[in-house]
Copies of this chain bind each other. A is one copy, B any other.
Amino acid sequence: MNRINQFNEYREKMNARIMDTDHLGIKRFFNLDTAAYKPGALDSKTKELMGLTASMVLRCNDCIDYHILECVKCGISDQELLEAFNVALVIGGSIVIPHLRHAVETMDMARTGTS
């Protein structure tokens, strides 16, 4: 089982545990988070690319992985992902580079079915 599967499994297990705490504020936040990426005035593809860019400049590998997988589901190509990576790199600077390495690896894993 590779790191993307491990991430998805842990994410699902802990999200279930969090829902289980039955904290109303936290549950509502999770609903808001899900709703934010639903198509509206902007389509899901654009929103996922925005989420990916924000995750990269904020330097969160788990969030980067999540949004790359969603981008791939939306039919976003490698060339489009690389353009998003480049915008994030220019905005966020060289401190983003370790996360760029991670992102490119995730992109490759998502494509080759090793995920």
Contacts and interface: CB of A to CB of B under 8 A. Distances in A.
Contacts of A49: 42, 46, 49-50
A17 B82 CA distance: 12
Interface residues of A, number: 62
A114 interface: no
Contacts of A57: 54, 57-58, 93, 95
A92 B29 contact: no
A101 B58 contact: no
A46 B53 CA distance: 11
A82 to B, nearest CB: 5
B29 A101 contact: no
A9 to B, nearest CB: 12
